[in-house]
Amino acid sequence: MEKKNRPNKFGSFTSRTSETTSSPRSPYSPLKVNQRSESDTLPTLEEDELHDHDIGQVSEDIDRFTDALSAVDDKSDPPEVPDIVETFSRILDSKIAKYNSGESTTRFFKMTEEDLLFIEAVRRISKLTNAFGEFPSSSTTTSSHNRTSMVLQRAMTFMEDEFRALLEDSWSSDSSSTNLKPYSSFNNKQEGSDRCAIPEIESTGDHDEFPAYPPEVLTKMNRIAAAMVSAGYETECCQVYTIARRNAFQEQLKRLEYEKLNIEDVQRMQWEPLEGEVARWIRLVKYCSAVLFPGERSLAESVFSDSPSLSKSIFSNIARAVAIQLLDFAEAVAMTKRSAEKLFKFLDMHETLRDLIPAISESHCSEEWEKEMASEISATLDRIGAAAMNIFCDLENSIRNDVAKTPVPGGAIHPLTRYVMNYLKYACEYKDTLEQIFQQNSKSEGEENLQSDQATSSPFSAQLLVVMDLLDENLEAKSKLYKDISLRNIFLMNNGRYILQKVKGSPEIHKGMGDNWCRRRSTVVRQYHKNYQRETCGRLLQCLSLEGGLLVNGKVCKQVVKERFKNFGVTFDEIHKAQSTWVVSDEQLVSELRVSITGLVIPAYRSFLGRFKQHLDNGRQAEKYIKYQPEDIETLIEGLFEGNPLSMGRRR
């Protein structure tokens, strides 16, 4: 007989949906589809017979029967199971078979209304199975319970596969290709800064969000996860999700060109390649804090929106595995042999991990997990901080061990001075971090030996003063290598002026050293200048002195006048010849020295020349003893402190 005006049928799986609530975990253990025996197979209905059933009416009947089962107080006396239960089980089993056979070509990748109704049907049979489970195994409902359990297990196996496919396929096809710019030890300075530059992460894809799941895929995964959890398959659902997302996270790390290194690998690496790995690690940790972790947390919250505690637990497990991997690398680096050039990368790592703690606290995970991760990060911070402090303090030994037997030519700035001051300049760009590290690792021993201004300063500032004092002592010892006292003062003046300029040029160092130190240093440098003037100009002015037999009973002794003019010329030649090769790097200091020499020598020479030149016999004799006119001396003074252009040039 021809069937007319057929209502909505299961064949197209289009009908109204019914709201369902989560039910407690079922007491049975999940089976795998391939574990079914022939005796377990449900009899199948003919396709036409399936179409004869109004799925909307069937769903209503199942809901009413499930409510009736739940309302039974005496579980030993279950109601009769209607035929609609067997029909509903067969309909759902037939739909699963259709999905698995490939007749439904898109499966869940295009979540149609039919697919949504299938999920609702699964949730419905889950509630029914749980309701059956409340009755004794010897009751008349046992057969129906076994039947619905088997269908539910098949549905769960199918949905587990779909869940895995959505997790693994959708994100990989849509995710952006993100990588790190190549790292180089050279040309890695940020413009206008001396701090170590770090390679940036760049995105070459169309999406900047992570993970890049389309909204419709998130909806599908949310529906599947909710159905599996409500059916008591929480463990299987979480396991599939966690494995897929851990693999996805590791794949993302590979795209960022991060390679996992164990402690042995790190210990064997030379510093240059390891420095590149550290820079990459720093950028990766920052990227995890800003993008990957928030994205992963948001994904878990979206997929498991019906189970907030579950989403927190899943994200915590995924994030912890990655965080521990990153912390292990930092720990391994902290264990490498200490050397001065590692300080700045260690400080970069310290700052990066320090900024990770707020990101963890903002992850909205369980309080226990947040405390655990904060503790792990803090422990790593302590190790890196202690290593950085020890490296900085090793600067003391570097200064003490720099014992030279040969003076620097021309009294120029010593390489040790340049090294120490540039090292301090770069280090003090991390002043706040170093202050924190020294404060945490400060030692009480030896504090009674600090000067008064050191005792009231921070531990790091006190360490700066110790370094400066050691550098002063070292330079003072090196100055004694110069036999010429004038050159000795030029050396001390050069180095002292350089140190003072470096301190004043760096607000961080200046703040650490203090204004009192700067004033004392300026006074010391001026004293070096005065000592130089007294030694150099004193020799010339001695030749122009009125004492020493120049005047005898008020009369000028011509022979002494001749000797004085001759000695002045010889002395000036010696000074000019020597001091023209001396090096003064600071242009202002050069100008000050020349002006001071000119101001002392030229007026005295003019006066002496004007007063005693007439006592020479004639012009020819005057030319013999008077080698220079005042203008000549002024010109020659302008050539002092230029250094030897063939062997030394000015350096800043």
| Structure confidence by residue, pLDDT tens digits, 391-404 | 999 999 999 999 98
pLDDT > 90 fraction of the chain, expressed in percent and rounded: 42
Query: Would you state the pLDDT for residue 444?
Result: 38
Q: From CA 369, how far away is CA 328, in angstroms rounded?
A: 18
3 state DSSP class of 54: strand
Q: Compute the chain's Rg from CA coordinates.
A: 44
pLDDT band with cut points at 50, 70 and 90 for residue 90 = confident
CB 71, CB 79: distance < 8 Å? no
Question: How many alpha carbons fall within 13 Å on the CB side of residue 527?
Answer: 7
The arithmetic mean of pLDDT across residues 67-89, rounded, is: 80
The arithmetic mean of pLDDT across residues 287-314, rounded, is: 90
Residue-by-residue DSSP string for 244-283 = HHHHHHHHHHHHTT-----HHHHHHS-HHHHHHHHHHHHH
Phi-psi region of 450 (alpha: psi -120 to 50; beta: other; left: phi over 0): beta
CB 280, CB 351: distance < 8 Å? no
CB 493, CB 525: distance < 8 Å? yes
Query: Would you state the pLDDT for residue 192?
Result: 40
Per residue in 12-71, pLDDT tens?
Answer: 333 333 333 333 333 333 333 333 433 344 444 455 455 555 666 777 888 888 888 888
pLDDT band with cut points at 50, 70 and 90 for residue 170 = low
